[in-house]
């Protein structure tokens, strides 16, 4: 029948009526049903509907697809509610095993093993007959009423809290006025004590610093003597003996570290009450504190996160070889699937990934919103914004395994016997393979990290130990310890060096010079390949050659 304006009395002449027209007291025959708007549309409304840009993507169904099945004609007998997880998907599936409705994508992802997964539309008669709609709507109304009451109660409590804050602030203000004449005098005495303690400790540190300056001056003088004695073997002999005596006098401990690694003055406010303030000499106890050892972490496992994606190859597990932190996300490499993946820390869920041209080994933050990924003989740069995206790349003449960055310099290992130093444009600045005696420094140069606290570079070699350099890639020493056979490495915000021992299944904490403080995780899940710490959140992330990234909470162990 042609669409025309009719009175309400003629409604029975149409099987389906146009919902928008019915709102204007017009009865027109509906030709389509809009799933998003949940409305029937006549020919005119359908044309208007499709002309509006924001509505062009809506889905339309023919009337023949609508089966009232005992429901009123103006309502469709199929679901229209969209899934909150998958945009554009309708909640048209029902899992009888879990008693939940979901969309087709949810069914595929979360209910693969469920045997009783059915279509709501195809089974609506059977499903609806088992549902107590009246009970559900009644419970919903009751719960809504309860929530409204709780909301009102909460608003009252908030008002009380606001009033109490104002009262408390007034009490504080009154107390301050009353005590001000006493506090001024005590403040001056306390500042004087802090100054005294500061000067004492400052004098000790300056004295130690003067010792270093004198030693440096003597050593430089000896270097000049050596230079001047070129060709004069008698003078060279004298210089040699003088140098031996000098560096023996200084001693190995004097070269590695000084007496102080931390110095500060602190003030602990007094807990005395008003009645005793007039008799007090100071506001609290002042003291000077110097620390000569590092605190040790206590690591508590929080969770294990599955980082496998749906399109990852079913033939291989993930292989997480390196991790870095960018803001509140964790960026890590999946070597087996050629991917760089991003994990949101707050939700512990993967939020993004990008394909890397070759199997990625390491990842290092090189800018505010940029990381560098060594892969094959290429360093691939990746921009980090709403999405991970490949940017420029630099091709090298050697394998690129792991990368560290500091002040515009890239330090790169090749998982063999070399360490390379580049600028950010890819210009080679230095190659290091052996010490001053020509002995190889590495058997297998793995992960690398730069410690900003003391400008030291650490290269992992699980056969030799932790190989240490300065910022110019000058060799310093190799830390050999049976508990330190490193593959992965990171630094925390305090200068501690954290090592993942792939062969020992342990995580070890070292000080800023690479000396072992202790084992903080013993017998981890399986061969830790990499480790990274979020300093602000005190969380540690550990990667493996598997689909799992483990998360640990870090606290200071005061035992």
Stated as kind and residue range, the H or E segment containing 178 is helix 133-228
Q: What confidence tier does 320 reach under pLDDT thresholds 50, 70, 90? A: very high
CB 466, CB 501: distance < 8 Å: no
Range of lowest pLDDT (34-43, 103-112, 123-132, 372-381): 123-132
Q: How would DSSP label each residue in 469-526?
A: EETT--EEEEE-BTTB--SEEEE-TTS-EEEEETTTTEEEEE-TTS-EEEEEEES-SS
* Predicted local confidence at residue 393, as pLDDT: 95
Q: Which two tokens stand for residue 92?
A: 């048209």
State pLDDT tens for residues 113-158. Answer: 999 999 888 888 788 766 677 777 877 887 888 788 878 877 887 7
Q: What confidence tier does 527 reach under pLDDT thresholds 50, 70, 90? A: confident
- Protein fold of 296-557: Neuraminidase (2.120.10)
Does residue 72 carry a pLDDT above 70?
Answer: no
Does residue 420 carry a pLDDT above 80?
Answer: yes
Rounded Cα gap, residues 76 and 35, in angstroms: 9
Range of lowest pLDDT (36-40, 63-67, 72-76, 501-505): 72-76
Tell if the pTM clears 0.85, that is, is over it.
no
Q: What confidence tier does 293 reach under pLDDT thresholds 50, 70, 90? A: very low
Across the range 331-356, mean pLDDT stands at 93
Q: Which two tokens stand for residue 458?
A: 């650490």
Residue 60 CB coordination number (10 Å):
16
Does residue 274 carry a pLDDT above 70?
Answer: no
Range of lowest pLDDT (84-88, 278-282, 430-434, 490-494): 278-282
* Predicted local confidence at residue 19, as pLDDT: 82
Share the mean pLDDT of the chain.
82
Q: What confidence tier does 285 reach under pLDDT thresholds 50, 70, 90? A: very low
Top pLDDT among 267 and 436 is at 436
Rounded Cα gap, residues 502 and 530, in angstroms: 9
Does residue 280 carry a pLDDT above 70?
Answer: no
* Predicted local confidence at residue 395, as pLDDT: 95
Across the range 222-249, mean pLDDT stands at 84
Q: Please report, for the chain, the start and end positions of each structural domain, with discontinuous segments joined by +.
A: 1-92, 158-291, 296-557
């Amino acid at each position: 029948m042609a669409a025309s304006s009719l009175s309400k009395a003629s409604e029975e002449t149409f099987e389906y009526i146009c919902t928008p027209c019915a709102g204007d007291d017009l009865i027109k025959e509906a030709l389509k049903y809009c799933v998003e708007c949940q409305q029937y549309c006549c020919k005119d409304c359908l044309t208007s509907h499709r002309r509006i840009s924001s509505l062009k993507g809506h889905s339309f169904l023919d009337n023949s697809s609508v089966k009232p099945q005992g429901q009123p004609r103006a309502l469709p007998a199929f679901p229209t509610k969209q899934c909150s997880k998958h945009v554009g998907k309708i909640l048209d599936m029902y899992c009888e095993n879990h008693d939940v409705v979901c969309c087709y994508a949810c069914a595929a992802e979360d209910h693969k093993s469920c045997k009783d997964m059915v279509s709501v539309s195809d089974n609506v008669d059977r499903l609806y007959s088992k549902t107590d709609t009246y009970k559900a709507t009644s419970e919903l109304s009751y719960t809504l009423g309860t929530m409204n009451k709780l909301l009102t109660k909460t608003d009252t409590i908030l008002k009380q809290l606001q009033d109490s804050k104002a009262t408390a602030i007034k009490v504080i203000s009154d107390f301050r006025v009353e005590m001000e004449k006493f506090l001024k005098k005590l403040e001056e005495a306390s500042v004087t004590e802090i100054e005294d303690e500061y000067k004492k400790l400052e004098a000790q540190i300056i004295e130690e610093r003067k010792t270093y300056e004198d030693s440096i001056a003597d050593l430089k003088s000896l270097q000049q003597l050596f230079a001047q004695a070129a060709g004069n073997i008698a003078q060279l002999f004298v210089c040699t003996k003088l140098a031996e005596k000098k560096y023996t006098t200084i001693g190995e401990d004097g070269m590695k570290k000084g007496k102080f690694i931390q110095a500060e003055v602190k003030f602990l406010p007094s807990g005395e009450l008003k009645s005793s303030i007039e008799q007090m000499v100071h506001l609290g106890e002042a003291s000077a504190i110097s620390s000569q050892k590092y605190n040790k972490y206590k690591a508590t496992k929080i969770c294990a996160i599955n980082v496998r994606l749906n399109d990852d190859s079913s033939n291989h597990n993930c292989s997480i070889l390196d991790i870095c932190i960018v803001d509140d996300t964790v960026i890590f490499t999946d070597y087996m699937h050629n991917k760089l993946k991003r994990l949101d820390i707050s939700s512990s869920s993967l939020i993004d990934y990008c394909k890397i041209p070759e199997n990625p080994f390491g990842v290092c933050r090189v800018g505010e919103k940029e990381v560098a990924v060594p892969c094959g003989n290429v360093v691939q740069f990746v921009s980090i914004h709403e999405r991970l995206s490949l940017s420029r790349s630099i091709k090298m003449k050697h394998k690129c395994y792991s990368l560290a960055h500091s002040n515009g310099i890239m330090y790169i290992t090749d998982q063999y016997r070399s360490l390379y130093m580049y600028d950010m444009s890819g210009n080679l600045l230095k190659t290091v393979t052996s010490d001053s005696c020509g002995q190889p420094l590495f058997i297998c140069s793995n992960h690398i990290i730069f410690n900003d606290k003391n400008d030291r570079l650490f290269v992992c070699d699980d056969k030799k130990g932790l190989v240490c350099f300065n910022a110019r890639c000058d060799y310093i020493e190799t830390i050999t310890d049976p508990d330190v056979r490193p593959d992965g490495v990171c630094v925390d915000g305090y200068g501690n060096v954290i090592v993942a021992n792939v062969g020992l299944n342990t995580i070890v904490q070292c000080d800023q010079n690479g000396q072992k403080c202790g084992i903080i995780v013993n017998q981890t899940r399986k061969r830790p390949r990499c480790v990274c710490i979020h300093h602000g959140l005190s969380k540690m992330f550990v990667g493996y050659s598997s689909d799992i990234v483990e998360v640990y909470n870090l606290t200071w162990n005061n035992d």
